[in-house]
Amino acid sequence: MNIVQKLLVATALPLSLVLSGCGETAPKNKAVYLLIDTSGTYTQELHKAQAIINYLLANLNSGDSIAVARIDSGSFSEKDILAKTTFDMRPSTANDQKRSFKQAIDEFANNLKHGSANTDITGGMLQATEYLNETGAGEKYVFIFSDLEEDLPDDYTRDFPISMDNIHVVALNVTKLRSDNIDPRDYLNRLDNWQHRVTEGGGDWRVLNDLERMDRLIVSN
């Protein structure tokens, strides 16, 4: 075997090893859906939501998707989606998309005057799962920025299981209500109830109240 043949073998071997890993691989992109509670006094927490969005924009890359929707009286609607985008494969275009996205959210935050009368969290969750499944992303996240106190209009039906296969649900900044201070079990029951619904639907549930630890939002693989 002469030197050329040896070199060819030495080059072909690692190349074949690399190429053997080719083919159908699982998607590696992420999709994030952020639900922002705009009901009642929770609108005061909106600036925190903006910080979370900025953090997400800084950490998501080309090919990832993000959508921000508000939770109002009837959240199972595309109209409640404030902004959504899938970042372009070119980093420079993705940066422009991020700027536009931020601008859209800032405009919404500046123009929001009144909170909604009711809080349809389940509808928002349904909308979120629908969007995330459509993206076909490898990792799917739903971030709920809310106190998790659902207050539905009288004729709305939301007491059914939600399919949340392979979706990571993270409840952010779950504030305590005045009634929770009287009986903290209400707060714990609220959290347990949502955890039960999410895990029953095949999802994964976490709570993150300390927004200083935003690095734990997206579990890097």
Partner 1 sequence: MDALLTLWSANTAVSATVWLLLAMTLLYFGRKPAHSMLRTTGEGLRNVLRLTSRSLSQLERHLVKRNREVLLAAARNDAERRIEREFTRIQALVARDLSGYPALHRDIAAAISNIEDTYRESGENPPLPPAWSEVVNTIAALPSHGDPAVAKVLNNIKGAVEDTHKETLKAWQNSAAQRHKLLSKMQPEWRTLNDKADAVAATVDGLDKRTHQLDKQMAQFEEIRRGEDSAVRSLTSSSLTQFFIAGLVLTIAVMGGLINFQLIALPMSEMVGGTSYIGALKTSDIAALVIILIEIAMGLFLLESLRITRLFPVISSMDDRMRRRMMVISLTILCVLAGIEASLAYMRDLLALDREALTQSLTGVTAAAGGVAASHAEFRWIPSIGQMVMGFILPFALAFIAIPLESFIHSLRTVLGLLLVGAIRAVSVAARALGNLLDHSMKLLMSAYDLLIMIPLSIERLVVSLRSSTEAVADAIPDVTATDEQPARKSRKGRRSKADDDTAAAAA
Contact between 104 and partner 1 per CB under 8 A: no
Q: Interface with partner 1 includes 48 (CB under 8 A)?
A: no
CA-closest candidate to residue 187, choices 197, 173, 175: 175
Nearer to partner 1, 44 or 61 (CB): 61
Residues 148-177 that bind partner 1 (CB under 8 A): none
In angstroms, give the least distance from the CB of 40 to partner 1.
Answer: 27
With CA atoms as reference, report the closest residue to 122 among 87, 146, 139, 92. Answer: 146
Strand partners, 34: 68, 143
Alpha helices, H only, 83-183: 91-111, 121-135, 178-182
Q: Which stretch binds partner 1 (CB under 8 A): 20-28, 146-154, 191-199, 201-209?
A: 20-28
CB 120 within 8 A of CB 150: yes
Strand partners, 119: 151
Give the nearest distance from C-beta 166 to partner 1 in angstroms.
Answer: 19
The residues that touch partner 1, with contacts defined as CB under 8 A, are 2-4, 6-7, 18-22, 25, 28-29, 54-55, 57-58, 61-63, 89-92, 95, 98-99, 102
